[in-house]
């Protein structure tokens, strides 16, 4: 991708800023690459990192709080909710302005209003945008799906989505949706001005115009540069309100940020470094990127112990670290649109397809995967509910995550599968060494159950964006994926298998089980309760029994950062954290 620069003035400002002696530059890094900064397409962690930095959402998470807890952002306070749980009224802050941009009259950013939020939500239901986030609110907001069906006319009012006045949003639901406020903290719900959409069209994907703490200066395939939004509303860091705990966070020096105006750094350079060795080299130099996630290649060199995790003295002297389980999971699911994996009206074919799915699941070796690719830290678990969320059952039968070569062979034989009629399998992924190793391990396990090696092929994509596009268009047989929780509720992973969320929505497996759908719809409107927990467990067992895929595993991350970087590494759920970081001179 060619380098994209906003405008000459911004470039000049960047140069002059770089020459200032007191400039604070935070050199962040991550292992992927964002491809689109339009909130309707903010479907990856990498994109969301930038989206929540340049745009405003009504709510955000308390930076340091565990368990996760929401707080107002663009909103004045938490929503006023009617007794029946169907009407949400939200006041937004006055005087908040979009960044200066040629899209506006005289190039001056105007005030953000409730109408901007309404417009931004409607964009998800405009078919021409092919939103990746519409699934969050589909069939939940009164009149919004009808608005889409009737031509997506922006001049037409939606009963359930209104600006009562310039600073008051009202959302009316078709049914209770306890997770609504969580969704209003996601990058998908970011507030976009109509002027920018009309001026830039598709170019909005690389020319975001928001009211967040930063503005985008430039972007290419290896680096995205943000600068402090000098017109950002007055906001200061509240140490206690952020969830600070001296025992947990004391070593970071974050307490020194209390009362500081946000954002704290002047410039953020987001370095997209895919190769683990390249990231480590840049990180260990001490003059380049300031954060990384420890990879297998560096484990023996850096760690003094894995249980518990400690650094060798020479690294402990230079770097801070934290160990945390990810708020999400990695998994492989089958695409039920595929003729060999999906449902069939013919009972015999249907049973054979399920047997094939289950045999592949039984071939998988989780201990081997964890040892080779995840530092040997953490354990796999049955199903797709993440530990720490309501519905996770530590006592669930673990047979679905245990390799069973004999059982797999038996299933294939009983349902007539043999070397001649077994289908060619294409294992997809980005073209890099790690995914090649994933594929080789996957193929090696399948050959143990009698699958012909020449029928197991790798399908590679140049970038994660290309891979994700193929998944969204249901063009892969198998979907090896990681899912970071959008919000801390098991509903967020169970919705991955809800029929109406099929591609290009979040249900990449295109699984459509009427019984599962019914239970999901029943649980989705319920407040937390023992009954809801039981429904969650029932749905989880259902997808395990249906052999929908190989799950799940939550990676244990070892985050490392330079001691001059004042930060608490976050990647999961939180978003909008770049405004809280600092660099000590």
Distance, CA of 189 to CA of 547 (rounded, Å): 33
Q: Tell me, what's the pLDDT at 21? A: 53
| CB-based contact 550:427 (threshold 8 Å) | no
Q: Which domain holds residue 243?
A: 4-17+24-265+566-583
HEC states along 177-192? CCCHHHHCCCHHHCCC
Same domain, 223 and 346: no
Helix, strand, coil shares, percent, the chain, to 5: 35, 20, 45
Reported confidence tier of residue 3, pLDDT bands at 50, 70, 90: very low
pLDDT in tens, 337-390: 999 999 999 999 999 999 999 999 999 999 999 888 887 887 899 999 998 888
- pLDDT above 70 (res 479): yes
Question: Are residues 103 and 191 located together in one domain of the fold?
Answer: yes
Task: Say what the pLDDT of residue 14 is.
Answer: 45
Q: Report which of 474, 494, 475, 492 is spatially closest to residue 484, judged by C-alpha positions.
A: 492
Kindly state whether residue 322 falls inside one of the protein's structural domains. no
Based on the fold, state whether residues 482 and 579 are members of the same structural domain. Answer: no
Q: What CATH number does residue 546 fall under?
A: 3.10.105.10
Say if 546 falls within a structural domain: yes
Spell out a b/e string for 366-387, using b for 16 or more CB atoms within 10 Å of the CB, else e: beebbeebbbebbebbbbbbbe
Work out whether the CA dihedral 391, 394, 397, 403 comes out positive or negative.
Answer: positive
Average pLDDT over residues 515-541: 95
Same domain, 95 and 228: yes
Average pLDDT score over residue span 222-232? 96
Indicate if 414 and 507 belong to the same structural domain: yes
314 found inside a domain? no
For 153-181, how does the pLDDT look when each residue is reduced to its tens digit (9 = 90+)? 999 999 999 999 999 999 999 999 999 99
For residues 319-336, average pLDDT: 93
pLDDT-wise least confident of 189-193, 223-227, 324-328, 492-496: 324-328
**In a shared domain, residues 212 and 347:** no
Q: How far is CA 263 from CA 235, 564, 578, 579, in A?
A: 8, 17, 8, 4
| 539 pLDDT more than 70 | yes
Q: Are residues 549 and 571 in the same domain?
A: no
Q: What pLDDT digit, counting tens, does each position of 446-471 carry?
A: 999 999 999 999 999 999 889 999 99
- Is residue 363 domain-shared with residue 258, that is, in the same domain? no
pLDDT of residue 316: 97
- Is 301 a member of any domain? no
- The CA angle 230-235-236, to the nearest 5 degrees, is 115
Domain-embedded: residue 294? no
Give pLDDT tens digits for 243-302: 999 999 999 999 999 999 999 999 999 999 988 899 999 999 988 999 999 988 898 899
Give domain status of residue 300, yes or no.
Answer: no
- CATH code of the domain covering residue 68: 3.40.190.10
Work out the average pLDDT over 81-109. 97
The count of domains in the chain is 2
Report yes or no on 311 lying in a domain. Answer: no
Which pLDDT belongs to residue 18? Answer: 44
Residues 438 and 525 in one domain: yes
234 and 382 co-located in one domain = no
Kindly state whether residues 391 and 487 are assigned to the same domain: yes
* List of residues 6+ apart from 60 with CB closer than 8 A: 52, 70, 71, 73, 185, 574, 575, 576
Residue 340 lies in a domain: yes
Q: What is the pLDDT of residues 379-423, one digit of tens each?
A: 899 999 998 888 999 999 999 999 999 999 999 999 999 999 999
pTM for the full predicted model: 0.79
Q: What is the separation, in whole angstroms, between the first and last Cα of the chain?
A: 34
For residues 549 and 499, membership in a common domain is answered with yes
């Amino acid at each position: 991708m060619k380098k994209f620069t906003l405008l000459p003035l911004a470039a000049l400002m960047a140069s002059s800023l770089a020459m200032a002696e007191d400039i604070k530059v935070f050199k962040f890094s991550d292992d992927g690459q964002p491809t689109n900064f339009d909130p309707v397409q903010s479907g990856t962690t990498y994109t969301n990192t930038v989206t929540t930095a340049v745009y405003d959402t009504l709510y955000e998470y308390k930076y340091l709080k565990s368990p996760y807890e929401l707080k107002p952002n663009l909103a004045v306070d938490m929503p006023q909710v009617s007794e029946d749980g169907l009407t949400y009224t939200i006041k937004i802050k006055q005087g908040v302005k979009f960044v200066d941009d040629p899209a506006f009259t005289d190039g001056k950013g105007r005030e953000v209003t409730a109408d901007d939020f309404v417009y931004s939500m409607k964009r998800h239901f405009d078919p021409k945008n092919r939103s990746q986030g519409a699934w969050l609110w589909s069939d939940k907001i009164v009149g919004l799906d009808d608005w889409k069906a009737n031509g997506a006319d922006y001049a037409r009012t939606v009963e359930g989505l209104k600006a009562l006045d310039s600073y008051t949003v009202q959302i009316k639901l078709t049914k209770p949706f306890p997770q609504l406020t969580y969704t209003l903290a996601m990058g998908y719900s970011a507030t976009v001005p109509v002027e920018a959409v009309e001026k830039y069209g598709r170019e909005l994907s690389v020319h975001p115009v928001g009211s967040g703490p930063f503005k985008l200066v430039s972007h290419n395939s290896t680096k995205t540069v943000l600068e402090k939004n000098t017109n950002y509303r007055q906001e200061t860091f509240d140490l206690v309100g952020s969830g600070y705990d001296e025992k947990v966070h004391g070593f970071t020096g974050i307490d020194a940020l209390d009362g500081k105006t946000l954002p704290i750094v002047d410039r953020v350079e987001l370095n997209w470094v895919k190769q683990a060795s390249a990231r480590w080299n840049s990180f260990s130099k001490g003059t380049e990127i300031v954060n990384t996630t420890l990879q297998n290649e560096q484990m023996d060199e850096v760690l003094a112990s894995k249980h518990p995790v400690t650094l060798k003295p020479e690294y402990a002297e230079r770097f801070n670290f934290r160990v945390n389980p990810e708020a999400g999971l990695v998994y492989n699911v089958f695409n039920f649109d595929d003729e060999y994996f999906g449902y069939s009206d013919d009972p015999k074919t249907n049973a054979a397809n399920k047997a094939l799915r289950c045999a592949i699941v039984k071939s998988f070796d989780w201990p081997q995967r964890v040892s080779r690719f995840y530092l040997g830290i953490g354990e796999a678990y049955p199903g797709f509910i993440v530990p720490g969320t309501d519905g996770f059952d530590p006592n669930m039968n673990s047979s679905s995550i245990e390799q069973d070569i004999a059982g797999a062979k038996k299933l294939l034989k009983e349902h007539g599968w043999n070397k001649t009629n077994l289908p060619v399998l294409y294992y997809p992924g980005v073209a890099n060494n790690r995914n090649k190793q994933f594929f080789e391990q996957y193929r090696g396990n399948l050959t143990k159950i009698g699958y012909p090696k020449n029928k197991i092929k790798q399908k590679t994509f140049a970038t994660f964006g290309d891979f994700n596009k193929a998944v969204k268009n249901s063009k892969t047989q198998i979907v090896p994926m990681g899912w970071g929780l959008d919000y801390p509720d098991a509903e967020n992973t169970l919705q991955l298998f809800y029929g109406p969320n099929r591609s290009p929505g979040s249900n990449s497996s295109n699984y459509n089980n009427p019984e599962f759908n019914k239970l999901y719809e029943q649980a989705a409107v319920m407040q937390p309760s023992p009954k809801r927990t039981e429904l969650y467990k029932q749905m989880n067992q259902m997808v395990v029994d249906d052999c929908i895929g190989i799950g799940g595993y939550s990676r244990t991350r070892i985050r490392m950062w330079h001691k001059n970087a004042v930060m608490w590494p976050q990647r999961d759920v939180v978003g909008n954290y770049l405004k809280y970081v600092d660099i000590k001179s």
